[in-house]
Every structure is written in C-alpha cells, then in structure tokens.
Amino acid sequence: MGYDHPAWMLITADTPHQKVYAPGLPVLHRRTDYLVLERQLGLDEERLYRLTLHQWREIFLPRDSGKNITCSPSVSGNISQVCLSQAQAEDFCIPLERTKVCPVCLDEEGAYDRLFWRLRSMILCPHHALVLADCCPHCSAFVPAFRPSPTICTYCGIGDYRRSRCPQISSTSWLYSGQLLLLYFLTGEVELSRDSLLSFASSPLLRVQPWQYFRLLDAFHFLLLRLPSNSVLLHSLSASIGTEELATIASPTIQVVAVHTAFFHYLFADWPKHLLLVLEHFSSLLRVNEIGRELFESFWDSDALIQRFFPSNQEGESGDSYQRLNHVLKTLSFWGMAIEFPRKVAPLPPSYLSAKREQQWDIEKHGGEILSLEFW
C-alpha cells in the first residue's frame, strides 16, 4: 500500500474518518489515537508508546514528581501509561514538528531518523561523529519530522539533506565526549570510551541521576545564554578549550548548543582540576586587568574565589553530588553576571556570539525560572 504523503496513513479509510494529527505523534497519549494507529500500522499500544518521547519521561523528570504528569492514566481517554505533556516535552526538545538529520545515515540503505535527535541537547550522530543538520542546504527551511521523502526538502523540493555541510567532530573533543555521556544517561546502553571513563571517573557528574544530569546541563546552557559577550567567565571558559572545530558548524542554533555542551563537560571532567583551572584564570584576568577593584579586589587571589565554590561547610565526597554541582552552577551564575571585561568580548566565534544574542527568547521563556529555583 502506497501513499502520496505519509499523513494519509494517519486517517482511517472508513467513515466517519478518524485522524491522528502528525505534530502530536511524539507525545501521543489519547487512547483513540493509539487505536487508529494500531489499525493503520499493525503495531500494538506498547510498541507505539516506545516510539514516543514518553519512554524518557522518568529520564527527564524525577519519579516522585507525579504532579507533573498531566497526561496521567487517571485522565479519561488517555492510555494507561505515564506520559509527558507537550509543554514538558518542549522543555527538552526542539519544536515537535521538526527534527535534525545525519546526512550519512540518510545515505545508507534504509535511510532513517532517530527519535533522540529531536532533543535540543543532542546534536551529534554517535555512529558517524557528524554534527547533525537542522535545515535544508538549499532553502534553509527546517527539517520536518513527518515528511514524504527522508532526503529531499519538503518546501523547495530541491535541497537534499544528504548534501548538508556537517563537520566531523574529533573523538578526543569535549563535544564528542559530552554527547556520548548524554546518550549514556538517556539510554543506559551506550558504552563510554576508556578516555571518557577516565575523564569522568572522579567527577560527581557520573554519580547523579539521569534527570539531574539533564537539569544541570539545561541550567548551564541557559546560564551561558544569559551572559554578556564580555563576561569574564566567558573569557575564562574560552581560554580553557579550543573552539576552532566548533566554529565550522553552519547552524547557529546547533553551534550555540555545541559550545555550551563542550564547556559543560570540560568543566566537570577530571574533577576538580578543570574547574580550578577556570577559576584561576578568572582571578588572573581580574588581577592583571584590575577589574572590579572596588568590590572584588579580594578575589584577585584565586584561593578566595575557590572558597566560594568549595565552602568549608560543604559535605565531602560522600555528600549529594547533585547539590554540589548545583552549588557550583549557582556560584558560576553570580560571578558570570557580576563581572564584565571592559570593552572586550570573549574570544569565541563571531557566529556563536551573534546566535547567542538571537536566542534571547529562550531566556524569556525558561531562563528566569531556571535561575530562581536553585536550578530546580
């Protein structure tokens, strides 16, 4: 049975017609929709459920947050499974009608997308180490998740996603390590490389729950989006790792996520060595350039700054890893917003700085909430 457009698969042939709306497929929760798809596709409810974002509900949200399950089994007309609401899914994903693609995966026999490519923080194909494409290489329209052709742009009919310009990322980069760690928390099936295991062996990041990891990662992302381009913290992070490889990413949205992902995982690897290096560089910039003489001169000494991140009353290695990392991010938030480098922007790709400014709507939607409730 062939269809001119896959949307026809979502409509029953008999009358009165029943229809499932494509944009809602990732968060499908109405029992009637499942029954339609069972008839149309021959898949049972459990199999259909595993094809939705709902399978990661307990990865993204703590188990005891029942109040957040707006599509609960108790609601009449819903399936008897725990579900993400559309609003909850949008907190972690790009717009649900869109996806990202790997050009090489599309060029293989049986071209395919992956559900987790819809996550905002997932920007790398783990199989080919390619940065994903999020738009048509010809007309720049976004990639529809539900489209007639897996490879040809729905809008212009000319662009071929397999011809997208997507750089390959080195397996030794912090972006690559970070994306593998993200998949490890998401699926529990990804084997971390020996180098990754060594890098994060002492890090409290490996000792948090998956939902805590995603919250910390999101908090850091929105923290950096808020920072002015001349923030001393941005200068210090930029000096820690090279961003030349990340500058080759064509998509502005993906480039911002790539930079933030690399910074986040560098900061918490080889614990606490990398964090201390960033703080020492931060204090050095203040001292050498005499920044903040009136209010922050005492922090020209890195030891005084480090004490703010590792207070004497904080629990040791046996303490709550999530709370320790949460404290680090809250303290970074204060210092990142408090001190700016006069008339000197951070040495980051101009395309990143420009894209960061354009994503201010993200801050208006999420940022205030994230930074007010102790990062949740």
CA atoms within 13 A on the CB side of 131: 27
Across the range 33-54, mean pLDDT stands at 92
- Secondary element (H or E) of residue 125: strand 124-125
CA atoms within 13 A on the CB side of 319: 14
Reduced to 3 states (helix: H, G, I; strand: E, B; else coil), residue 226 is helix
User: What is the rounded CA–CA span in Å between residue 337 and residue 335?
Assistant: 5
For residue 131, list its beta bridge partners: 124
Tens digit of each residue's pLDDT (9 = 90 or more) over 210-248:
999 999 999 999 999 999 999 999 999 999 888 888 989
Tens digit of each residue's pLDDT (9 = 90 or more) over 133-150:
999 999 999 999 999 999
Separation of first and last alpha carbons in the chain: 49
Q: Which of 99, 124, 238, 105 is nearest to 178 (CA)?
A: 124
Instruction: Find out whether the peptide bond into 272 is cis, omega within 30 degrees of 0.
Output: yes
User: What is the rounded CA–CA span in Å between residue 311 and residue 72?
Assistant: 42
Q: Where are the domains of the chain?
A: 6-92, 94-168, 174-372
Give residue for tokens 């017609």.
Answer: 17
Alpha helices in 93-245 (DSSP H): 103-107, 174-187, 194-200, 210-226, 232-240
In this structure, the strands spanning 98-99 and 143-144 are antiparallel
- 15-24, 106-115, 202-211: segment of lowest average pLDDT: 15-24
Q: Looking at mean pLDDT, say which of 50-59, 187-196, 308-317 comes out highest.
A: 50-59
Q: Give the pLDDT score at 21.
A: 86
For residue 162, what are its two tokens?
């397999």
Instruction: Find out whether the peptide bond into 23 is cis, omega within 30 degrees of 0.
Output: no
Across the range 128-135, mean pLDDT stands at 96
Chain centroid offset of residue 139 CA: 25
- In whole numbers, what is the pLDDT of the chain averaged over residues? 86
Q: DSSP code of 331?
A: H
The angle, 0 to 180 degrees and rounded to 10, between the axes of the packed helices 210-226 and 252-268 is 120
Give residue for tokens 């725990």.
Answer: 82
Residue 11 reports pLDDT greater than 90: no
Residue 309 reports pLDDT greater than 80: yes
Q: Give the pLDDT score at 367.
A: 46
Q: Give the pLDDT score at 135.
A: 97
Residue 342 reports pLDDT greater than 60: yes
User: What is the rounded CA–CA span in Å between residue 116 and residue 113?
Assistant: 9
Whether the CB-CB separation of 157 and 173 falls below 8 Å is answered with no
Confidence of residue 319 (pLDDT cuts 50, 70, 90): low
Confidence of residue 2 (pLDDT cuts 50, 70, 90): low
Give residue for tokens 């490890």.
Answer: 184
Q: Give the pLDDT score at 17.
A: 82
Residue type, 119: L
Q: Give the pLDDT score at 67.
A: 45
For residue 139, what are its two tokens?
């007309």
For residue 176, what are its two tokens?
């690559």
Residue type, 159: G
